[in-house]
Amino acid sequence: TLFAFSVFQQALNRGIAAVKEDAVEMLASYGLAYSLMKFFTGPMSDFKNVGLVFVNSKRDRTKAVLCMVVAGAVAAVFHTLIAYSDLGYYIINKLHHVDESVGSKTRRAFLYLAAFPFMDAMAWTHAGILLKHKYSFLVGCASISDVIAQVVFVAILLHSHLECREPLLIPILSLYMGALVRCTTLCLGYYRNIHDVIPDRSGPEMGGEATIRKMLSFWWPLALILATQRISRPIVNLFVSRDLGGSSAATEAVAILTATYPVGHMPYGWLTEIRAVYPAFDKNNPSNKLVNTNSTVTATHIKKFTFVCMALSLTV
């Protein structure tokens, strides 16, 4: 799945690079907007772990979805402020020392991406619930379907009028279509396989009913870790752009970073996802008593699996 996500980022970059005019400028603008979006709102993807640990009933799932609706609304407001306010002009134009054209395109792309964190959070929340019930194959299929949809829509949109009118919409619309496919697949998988199995409320035998406060208290340290990891790319973009003084060389450098970063992410991205393995198979976790499984996965198996992942990563 992580490998597939790295591939789809390259497909989105291809959608920008195919533009005949200002391809480098467009790629740099999209890269700045996308990296900032992933830093500020990407940690919501860690709500997958909330679904994995806390969602044991329909009521728990409603609370988790409510948290993500509020978080998505906050993200949309923040994106709008960056796009239209002086704060956005300072962060993009002044702080990065980019010219007016790149700054304007970056803020416009940031506005277009306003709804993506909400869709991504909804998908990851249901992915966590499915992982809890050992439907990892379905989660993987949803991610692969996301990638396929994005590649297909990039190819389709490259033959549309968007290439001339608004090239930035080619990768962004493809991103949305992929997220829509992934979110729909995961939600349908939840309703088909889990919704009728779990109880309306969590009993004491499953650790009791989770509260929104418990969910948020569990989520924010994980989100902080992911935000700390993802701040590296915006910082690199910032220093590169400022060091080159917002010149054409700076635009080219940011565009190159946009194109090459997904490749560099492939060998170590699995480290973030390996955290979901132990909670899903821990026999001492009372919430796992709800899940009917004949698996005999132990801590030793998980350690061996981790070493195999590390070996494959080093090979890559």
Q: What percent of the chain has pLDDT over 90?
A: 10
Global confidence as pTM: 0.78
Q: What is the CA radius of gyration of the chain?
A: 21
Of 105-119, 191-205, 274-288, 294-308, least confident by mean pLDDT is 274-288
Q: For residue 245, what are the CA distances in angstroms to 93, 239, 242, 253, 262?
A: 11, 10, 5, 12, 25
Phi, psi of 197, rounded to the nearest 5 degrees: -95, -40
259 in Cβ contact with 35 (< 8 Å) = no
Rounded Cα distance between 68 and 294, Å, is: 33
DSSP letters along 105-145, please?
A: HHHHHHHHTTTHHHHHHHHHHHHHHHHHTT-HHHHHHHHHH
Rounded Cα distance between 172 and 179, Å, is: 11
Between residues 309 and 103, which one has the greater pLDDT? 103
Q: Is 199 helix (H, G, I), strand (E, B) or coil?
A: coil
Between residues 271 and 142, which one has the greater pLDDT? 142
Q: What one-letter code names the amino acid at 183?
A: C
- Is the pLDDT at 269 greater than 70? The verdict is no
194 in Cβ contact with 133 (< 8 Å) = yes
Of 60-69, 126-135, 181-190, 220-229, least confident by mean pLDDT is 220-229
Rounded Cα distance between 192 and 200, Å, is: 16
Q: What percent of the chain has pLDDT over 70?
A: 79
What angle do helix axes 2-17 and 136-157 make, rounded to 10 degrees?
Answer: 10
- Residues with Cβ within 8 Å of residue 190, at least 6 apart in sequence: 126, 129, 130
178 in Cβ contact with 146 (< 8 Å) = yes
Over residues 130-145, the pLDDT tens digits come to 988 888 889 889 988 8
In this prediction, residue 190 has a pLDDT band, given cuts at 50, 70 and 90, of very high
* Residue at token pair 């940031």: 110
Between residues 276 and 311, which one has the greater pLDDT? 311
Tokens representing 174 are 């493809």
In this prediction, residue 189 has a pLDDT band, given cuts at 50, 70 and 90, of very high
In this structure, the number of other CB atoms found within 10 A of the CB of residue 74 comes to 14
